[in-house]
Every structure is written in C-alpha cells, then in structure tokens.
Amino acid sequence: MSVDPMTYEAQFFGFTPQTCMFRIYIAFQDYLFEVMQAVEQVILKKMEGIPGCDITPVQIRKCTEKFLCFMKGHFDNLFGKMEQLFLQMILRIPPNILLPEDKCQEMYPYSEEEFQLLQKEIKELQEKCKVEMYTKQALLAELEEQKIVEDKLKQTLTLFDELENVGRDHGTSDFRESLVSVVQNSRKLQDIRDNVEKESKRLKIS
Amino acid sequence: FDEIIVDIATKRKQYPRKILECVIKTLKAQHE
Amino acid sequence: GTAVSRVKLLDTMVDTFLQKLIAAGSYQRFTDCYKHFHQLQPEMTQRIYDKFVTQLQASIREEISEIKEEGNLETVLMSLDKIVEDGKKRKEPAWRPSGTPEKDLCSVLAPYFLQQRDTLRRHVQKQEAKNQELAEAVLAGRRQVEELQRQVQARQQAWQALHRERRELAAVLKEP
C-alpha cells in the first residue's frame, strides 16, 4: 500500500499528521503503562497491610499483565480508528482546498512554456524600450542641432537684412538701384571732369 | 522520511516567497 | 449541515476514545483479572479501579492539552476551518505541488512578471507616442531649416548677382 506522505498537510501544519498521531499514540500508551504500574504498586502496598495474605507479587504481576494485555488490545484497536478519523477529518486538507500561499496557482495557472513566453515578451519589450530611448535621444539631438542651424541661418538672414537696412538708412531703398544711381552719378562726374579738363586746356591755350 | 517530508513542505511554503522577494528586487533594479 | 469545528471534533474523538477504552476495561474485567485481591479487598479494589480510570483520563486529556498548547493547534485548526469554509464552493480537486519546483514557481512569479510586462508596455507606448511627436517636430524642423537655407541661398545669390553687376559696372566705369 503506497504511503500518503501528506506533504500538503505538512506544508500547512509544519509537521506530518502521521508524526503527530504517532506522538499521541506513544504518549497515550505511556500513560496506560504508567497508570497500570501505579495500580500494581498500590495493590502490592495494600497487600503488605493484609495479614495472612497468600497472594504473591508474581501473581499480582500476572494479573496486571493480563489486564494490560487486554487493555492494550482494545487501546490499539480504538486508537487505530481514532487515528483514521483524525487523518481524515482533522489533520487533512480536503482535496478541493488550496492553501492561501498557493492562491496564485489558481489565479495564474502558468505552465513553464507560457512562463517562458511571458519572459520572452518582457525581453522584447525591454529591447523596444531601449530602442525608443535611443530614438528619443537621437530625435532630441537632431532638434538641438536644428535649433543651432536655424539660429545660424537666421543670423545670416539678419545680416542680409541689416545690410539692406544700411542702404535704406542712407536713402536708397534698393542696392541695385543705389548702385546704378551711384554709377550714373559717377559717370556724370566723369563727364563733368572731362568737360572741366577740356575747358582748362582751352583756357591755357588762349 | 518524516523529516524529509517536513523539510520539503517547509521549503515549499517559504521558498517561493523568498524567491519572489529576490525577483521583485531584480525587476525593480532592471526597471530603474 | 454546518461544519463542526476541527477542535470540537478532536475533543469529541478523544472523549469517545477514552469512553470506549474505559468501557472495554470495565470494572468487571478488572476484577476478573485481580480476582483474588478483589475477594480479599472488594472496596479497595473499587477505589483502585476508580483511581485508575480518573488517572488515565486525566493523563490523556492533559497530554492532548499539552499537544494543543505546544503546536498552537487550536488556532491552526481554526484557521484551517476558515480556509476550508472559504474554499468550499469549489468542488473539483484543487492544485497540488507538482514535485517540480521550477514548474510550480511559474505561477508564483507570473503576477509580478505580468505586472512588469504591463508596465513596460505602457512605457513603450508612451515613449512611442512621445517619439512620434518628436519625429514630427524634427520633420517640421527639417522643413524649416530647408526653408531658411533656401531663403539664405536666394539672398546670397541675389547678393552675388549684385556683386557681379557691381563689378561689371565698375569695369565699365574704369574704361578710359
């Protein structure tokens, strides 16, 4: 007959029910022997006080053994029945009952395969997390760069604006026009100069 | 035999919680 | 009907055990065994038997109390009553350790790994959304930079054209 080690009960009680019963059996048996011993001692003592008593201690011992043997037989039989009831109704976790510390087995019945899948999914998510972090850093870096480039470009545009403004501050709205007008004016100046030179030559000669 | 049973049962009761504590610490550290 | 508490069951079983044991070891049986002494001292025999019975009962009851005390058995049995009461709706056999710790541990760790998975999922989703916005901002920034570069190029070309014209005009000027 295969022994039921009752490990689940041992998990709850912290001892195996069989051990508990064995401990109770030994204790009860010891008491039975002790009480029988005490009975025998008392009878022997009483006999000493009875004058002309022809009963010998050996006879009393035989009586004790006879009564004890009888009692022991019944004791074992009754204790066997009690032990069975104890193991069935008291020191036992009913098959449909789960201990609180094992509640998760019921709530998350995960096989090893499913658990590995879950761990794989977590690893993938961790990788994804990293990728997203790197992406974020790259995007932020590019935004940073863009800011710098934009500032530079805006500075350049401002420079051009300032150049235009310089022109404007001196009365010419548009450089091209101003250049043309400068060139025309300088040409006029050249003509005038030429004329002046011709005139002065002429005067010298005359 | 009895001691082995009690030893196994005790481990079954206590070790998942201990392992769990370590795993939670690991998960927290990973997260950080 | 209503479940009898395990502690009460235990006491009842011990009482029954004692009653039956005492019934088996009856006074009749006792005097049969100690026949001669009983004939000499019937009252004494009765008193010794009574003492035997009370002493045996007292010792056994005391032992049970000690065991209850030592193992805190009453509290433990009451908590088991509670666990059984809470779980009585379930009829089919409940889970039991498989004997392979790695296997059993999966369900213990699963809730925490599920939690971690959900946290990571949320984290990734949040980061993806943020990165989406950043990516759009980067694209807008790129367009903005292109636009500015175009503007600068246009202004630069205008200036270069102007510079070329100025040189030409100046060249014209220099003609003797």
**What does the pLDDT look like over C53-77, one tens digit per residue?**
999 999 999 999 998 998 899 999 9
Interchain CB distance below 8 Å, C165 and A179:
yes
Q: Of the candidates A57, A65, A60, A33, which has an alpha carbon nearest to the alpha carbon of residue C45?
A: A60
Contacts of A47 in chain C (CB under 8 A): 37
Interchain CB distance below 8 Å, B12 and A11:
yes
Contacts of C83 in chain B (CB under 8 A): none
Q: How far apart are alpha carbons A119 and C102 in whole angstroms?
A: 14
Per the listing, tokens 């026949």 go with C35
Question: pLDDT value at position A80?
Answer: 96
- Which percentage of chain C shows pLDDT scores above 90? 78
Average pLDDT in chain C: 91
Q: Please tell me if residue A125 touches chain C, with a CB cutoff of 8 Å.
A: yes
Interchain CB distance below 8 Å, B12 and C108:
no
Q: How far apart are alpha carbons C157 and C88 in whole angstroms?
A: 90
**Å from C89 to nearest chain B CA?**
24
Q: Are C86 and A92 in contact (CB under 8 A)?
A: no
Query: Each residue of C78-112: pLDDT tens digit?
Result: 999 999 999 989 899 999 999 999 999 999 999 99
Q: How far apart are alpha carbons B4 and C129 in whole angstroms?
A: 56
Predicted confidence pLDDT, tens digits, chain A (206 residues): 467 889 999 999 999 999 999 999 999 999 999 999 999 999 999 888 888 878 889 999 999 999 999 999 999 999 999 999 999 999 999 999 999 999 999 998 899 999 999 999 999 999 999 999 999 999 999 999 999 999 999 999 999 888 888 777 776 556 667 777 777 788 888 889 999 999 999 888 77
Q: How far apart are alpha carbons B15 and B11 in whole angstroms?
A: 5
Q: How far apart are alpha carbons A95 and A4 in whole angstroms?
A: 13
Question: pLDDT value at position A149?
Answer: 95
How far are the Cα atoms of A34, A47, A62, B18, C153 from residue A57, in angstroms, in the given order? 18, 9, 9, 64, 132
What dihedral angle (degrees, nearest 10) is formed by the CA atoms of C148, C150, C155, C157? 150
Q: What average pLDDT does this structure show over C145-153? A: 94
Question: pLDDT value at position A172?
Answer: 59
Q: What average pLDDT does this structure show over C130-152? A: 96
Question: pLDDT value at position A205?
Answer: 79
Question: DSSP secondary-structure letter at C172?
Answer: H
Interchain CB distance below 8 Å, B5 and A101:
no
3-state secondary structure chain A: CCCCCCHHHHHHHCCCHHHHHHHHHHHHHHHHHHHHHHHHHHHHHHHHCCCCCCCCHHHHHHHHHHHHHHHHHHHHHHHHHHHHHHHHHHCCCCCCCCCHHHHHHHHCCCCHHHHHHHHHHHHHHHHHHHHHHHHHHHHHHHHHHHHHHHHHHHHHHHHHHHHHHHHHHCCCCCHHHHHHHHHHHHHHHHHHHHHHHHHHHHHHHC
Question: Which partners does chain A have (≥3 C-beta pairs < 8 Å)?
Answer: B, C
pTM value? 0.73
Q: Is A193 exposed, middle or buried, given 0-12, 13-18 or 19+ CB atoms closer than 10 A?
A: exposed
Interchain CB distance below 8 Å, B9 and A101:
no
B2, B16, B17 ranked by CB distance to A19: nearest: B2
Interchain CB distance below 8 Å, A14 and B10:
yes
Interface test with C, best of B7, B12, B13 (most C CBs within 10 A): B12
Question: pLDDT value at position A1?
Answer: 47
Instruction: Label residues A82-93 b or e (16+ Cβ within 10 Å = b).
Output: bbebbbeebbbb
Q: Of the candidates A123, B27, A128, which has an alpha carbon nearest to the alpha carbon of residue C127?
A: A128
How far are the Cα atoms of C35, C43, C46, C51 from residue C38, in angstroms, in the given order? 5, 8, 8, 15
Q: Which two tokens stand for residue A104?
A: 């998760």
Interchain CB distance below 8 Å, B12 and A126:
no
Q: How far apart are alpha carbons A103 and A114 in whole angstroms?
A: 18
Per the listing, tokens 């548009």 go with A174
End-to-end, the C-alpha distance of chain A in Å comes to: 157
Interchain CB distance below 8 Å, B19 and C104:
no
**Å from B20 to nearest chain A CA?**
12
Q: Are A163 and C162 in contact (CB under 8 A)?
A: no
Interchain CB distance below 8 Å, A6 and B5:
yes
Contacts of C101 in chain B (CB under 8 A): 12, 15
A79: left (phi over 0), alpha (psi -120 to 50) or beta: alpha
Per the listing, tokens 């010794």 go with C48
Q: Are B7 and A15 in contact (CB under 8 A)?
A: no
Q: How far apart are alpha carbons A141 and C138 in whole angstroms?
A: 10
**Å from C1 to nearest chain A CA?**
15
Contacts of C71 in chain A (CB under 8 A): 13-15, 20
Contacts of B30 in chain C (CB under 8 A): 116
Q: Please tell me if residue C20 touches chain A, with a CB cutoff of 8 Å.
A: yes
Q: Of the candidates C70, C73, C59, which has an alpha carbon nearest to the alpha carbon of residue C10?
A: C73
Question: DSSP secondary-structure letter at C89?
Answer: T
